Structure 1
């Protein structure tokens, strides 16, 4: 299922090629994102002075001011705005420099456009969640002083027997240091359960989460274990890995089965020895970390295929836990929907709302391929679009202006787009422009906002690849 945002967010996309700007803008707008584009970094700087953005998405190679300089400008002047870099010049050194200049993610070209949308929306939602958590913490601290040693975390909501059993198990497991391995479909609440385990423990350290699937392959070791200044080209300063960050607390290794086999061996050693050695460090350092790992993959199949180490799985799965999909949780759908209404009414300062019976019945009978995350997004959307009313109607949730395509599953989930690369979409736009201009390269270039030299180079490439005669 394609990710989409429940309420509009604003992205600034910076690239000097109009076809790419057009493709990316259309893609993100179909996911509920408002996109402003700039053809160069200098224009982007001017745009940021006049209006706020939730995220900056930038290419690297641009005239006058390159992507690194733009990243540095964003980090210095808009430190709360995440930035993602795309580049066709991918390398370990390049990735490290991008991260050093403030990029929260790094995408080497070519990549699937749906993957780009997932990364962008994931970063926006993470920022939004952080703001909500920060606001809730401030309100809570003003309203009451918690008991010494107490924690306030997201409760794992549900009355279905499988969820009740999980809560009871969590209470017992949380007090130990034993690793927990959570398996479940995307959107079932694996991170929420992980935080619940941490909150129920007596560990004084932080809860740290890292999504192993989103890490650039070249930076996995550095992200997990850290690196020392000068340990490789581009390592201009020491970097603390997530194991050290989580010392004394809990580390969530989200989608752990996506870690490369070579790194899995080092991860196994850290778990066995209880110590971590940063890249370039002369000696290891002891760490006290409680591990929670998650995956949505078929673990047995991954082990059989050689993609995941059997010994690492057994080291992580002292307590294996399986989260049921939302479609198997019965009346929990109604309970969760009501909780999400309360959550977003509180967030936006709206008076209490109810869900229309017809909409609640559709919620209860839906298949929910995106599970709890999909339900929350739809309720969030409904709360926003019913701002002037006290009842959320079906039309507030299934809104033609926000859905990607024709609805399925009773109008609750958009039909996913075919996975297409940016190169494929760029080729389609160039060939279409040439067709519409009867092969006139100069006119096609003007229409696309690129040079006719670029058209010639692209056509040469397409002939070599067999796409045109």
Structure 2
């Protein structure tokens, strides 16, 4: 008896380049696959809400209008955790690729790419998915039911400061009052926000995360509150804002201190009145949204300089939470290492691993300027480079090949250690890329922003911060 014929894999493409839709349609059809195309992430959200189970894979561009690929990836990881995502990113935007992998993308493909490479990467992803599904189907019904439950966010740590923080969360989550989370970059503020959402009675509602620093200055209001068709030049259709998308759930306003004062005033009114007004509309609309805001800045300084409204801070900080840097809770490093080892072994289909005693000693002696995010990057690197081996060694993480290997050498002087530590976090990589892009464009901020795939406003804010920190003149 002939085996039943397998249904053609179904791929969802999300890209605003119309030419790619035609190319991909022909290419994937020729290789026995089906394709559904969306021109932006918001359109993709509507498709996924109706028929997410119909797709085997999502391929999404990073840079798109209204909502970028990382926001779409975050939605998919939250609402459809079994659906795999491949990110397409511009070749110059290495930091986008890193962030995509950190946030759960299974692969990224830099532009320009060959059709042969694209097909091979997609086929490999689909093969891994089939294997995983076969393993699931062979499990008992009880274990299968467990597999289908949504994953629970975990904030890893047993240090007393983390214990006190986690003990507070049930009471914080039990209502809809705003929360303000402060902490250095990389300490896990967004993870904490997601945990509050999952522990609340809004857990079945949406969790929408907006990075305020990355919003184009002229479109901040539209991104937050939405706009009507024809409200301004380029508004060719109605747009649903972040507050509307978060209806009945939670809205995370990451890096809220980067929002202009005029928008801060409107946010204050939204929080007071519990209603929004779209750009180009005269009708206010009631909303039911819990707001969680985060910042890595010194709020007292920002308020004193007139860069952040004190009344907005007090409105947001009904529950002010502070996340300690990793250097102040070093006893949690072994727990975090074990957590990330398991995460990336599972993600890449590798056998269980552990780190060598020598590598753990290096980790425990390091001061982690990039906090938990930096530790996760190092562990991810070690998992990948150790391949099929069961032990991750020092050389898998602190290899001379990598630009950031030097800070971990035990023979480095304290002065050199401190100097090199400043150039090995994600933020420092970002600064180097911005400065390089400005140099290549003769200090034209608009051209540099286009080259990097960010807004000119973001570059202005970053340069201002670098000057305040004494990093540039």
Shorter-chain TM-score bucket reads 0.5 to 0.7
Deviation per CA, 1:182-217: give whole Å up to 9, x if none.
000111000100011011101131111111011111
Q: Normalising by the residue count of structure 2, what TM-score does the alignment of the two structures yield?
A: 0.64
The CA deviation string for residues 39-64 of structure 1, in whole angstroms up to 9 with x for no partner, is: x998999799889xxxxxxxxxxxxx
Note if contact 1:152-1:199 (Cα within 8 Å) is conserved in structure 2. no
Classify 1:194/1:42 alpha carbon distance in 2 versus 1 (closer, same or farther; 3 Å): closer
Residues 294 and 130 of structure 1: CA distance in aligned 2, closer, same or farther (over 3 Å):
farther
Local SS of the residue matching 1:169? helix
Q: Per the alignment, in what secondary structure is the counterpart of residue 251 of structure 2?
A: strand
* Separation (CA, whole Å) in 2 of partners of 1:408 and 1:172: 41
Residues 124, 376 of structure 1: alpha-carbon distance in 2 compared, 3 angstrom cutoff: closer
Give the drift of 1:348: 2.0
- Render the CA deviation track for 1:3-32: whole Å, top value 9, x for unaligned: xxxxxxxxxxxxxxxxxxxxxxxxxxxxxx
Contact 2:400 2:406 in 1 (8 A): no
Q: Secondary structure at the match of 2:180?
A: strand
Hey, what's the Cα distance between the residues in 1 that align with 2:290 and 2:201?
11
Which residue in 2 is equivalent to 1:80? 59
**Paired residues for 1:255-274 under 5 Å:** 255-274=255-274
Displacement of 1:311 in angstroms is 0.3
Match of residue 178 from structure 1? 177
Deviations 1:296-315 (Å, cap 9, x if unpaired)?
00111000111100000000
Q: 1:274 to 1:44 in 2, by over 3 A?
A: closer
Residue in structure 2 matched with residue 296 of structure 1 by the alignment = 296
Matched residue SS, 1:194: helix
* Distance in 2 between residues matched to 1:231 and 1:193, nearest whole Å: 36
Displacement of 1:172 in angstroms is: 1.2
Q: Distance in 1 between matches of 2:195 and 2:297?
A: 22
Higher relative contact order (CA 8 A, sep 6+): 1
Q: Which residue of 2 aligns with 1:201?
A: 200
- Partner of 1:358: helix, strand, or coil? helix
The 1:327/1:117 distance shift into structure 2, 3 A limit, reads same
Which residue, out of 413, 437, 450, partners 1:422?
A: 437
Residues 153 and 195 in structure 1, CA contact (< 8 A), matched pair in contact too: no
After TM superposition, what 4+ stretches of structure 1 lie above 3 angstroms from structure 2?
40-51, 102-105, 115-127, 129-132, 137-148, 409-419
CA contact (8 A) 2:264 2:309 kept: yes
Give the drift of 1:427: 5.9
The answer to whether the 8 Å contact 1:181/1:317 transfers is yes
Q: Determine the C-alpha separation between the residues in 2 that align with 1:158 and 1:104.
A: 30
- Distance change (3 Å), C-alpha of 1:269 and 1:41: closer
- Displacement of 1:240: 0.6
CA contact (8 A) 2:257 2:295 kept: yes
3-state SS in 2 of match to 1:341: helix
Report the Cα distance in structure 1 between the residues aligned to 2:405 and 2:145, rounded to whole angstroms.
49
> How many residues get paired?
341
Shift of 1:129: 7.6
With over 3 angstroms needed to count, the CA separation of the structure-2 counterparts of 1:397 and 1:173, relative to structure 1, is same
Give the secondary structure class of the aligned counterpart of 1:237: coil
Question: Rg larger in 1 or in 2?
Answer: 1
Q: Which runs of 5+ in 1 are unaligned?
A: 1-39, 52-70, 85-97, 106-112, 429-469
Residue of structure 2 in register with 1:122 after alignment: 99
Whole-angstrom distance in 2 between the partners of 1:170 and 1:399:
40
Say what the alpha-carbon RMSD is for the aligned residues.
3.9
User: Do the aligned partners of residues 221 and 188 (structure 1) sit closer, same or farther apart at CA in structure 2, a change above 3 Å counting?
Assistant: same
Q: CA deviation at 1:327?
A: 0.8
Q: Secondary structure at the match of 1:208?
A: strand
Q: Please give the per-residue CA displacement for 1:229-248, whole angstroms capped at 9, x wherever unaligned.
A: 11111111111111111111
State yes or no: 1:287 paired with 2:253: no
**Local SS of the residue matching 1:340:** helix
| TM-score computed with the length of structure 1 as normaliser | 0.64
Aligned equivalents of 1:363, 1:99: Cα separation in 2 = 40
* 1:19-418 alignment runs, 5 A limit: 80-84=59-63, 99=65, 104=69, 117-119=94-96, 121-123=98-100, 125-126=102-103, 128=105, 143-145=143-145, 152-203=151-202, 204-401=204-401, 403-404=402-403, 407-410=406-409, 415=424, 416=428, 418=432
User: Structure 1 406/200 Cα, relative in aligned 2: closer, same or farther at 3 Å?
Assistant: closer
Deviations 1:342-380 (A, max 9, x none): 111122222211110000011111111111111111111
**In 2, are the aligned partners of 1:208 and 1:245 still within 8 Å (CA)?**
yes
Listed one character per residue, the Cα deviations across residues 276-301 of structure 1 (whole Å, up to 9, x for unaligned) are 11111121111111111100001110
Gaps of 5+ in 2: 1-16, 29-38, 45-56, 71-89, 109-124, 411-419, 444-473
The 1:344–1:142 alpha-carbon spacing in structure 2 relative to 1, beyond 3 Å, is farther
- Closer/same/farther in 2, CA of residues 175 and 253 from structure 1, 3 Å limit: same
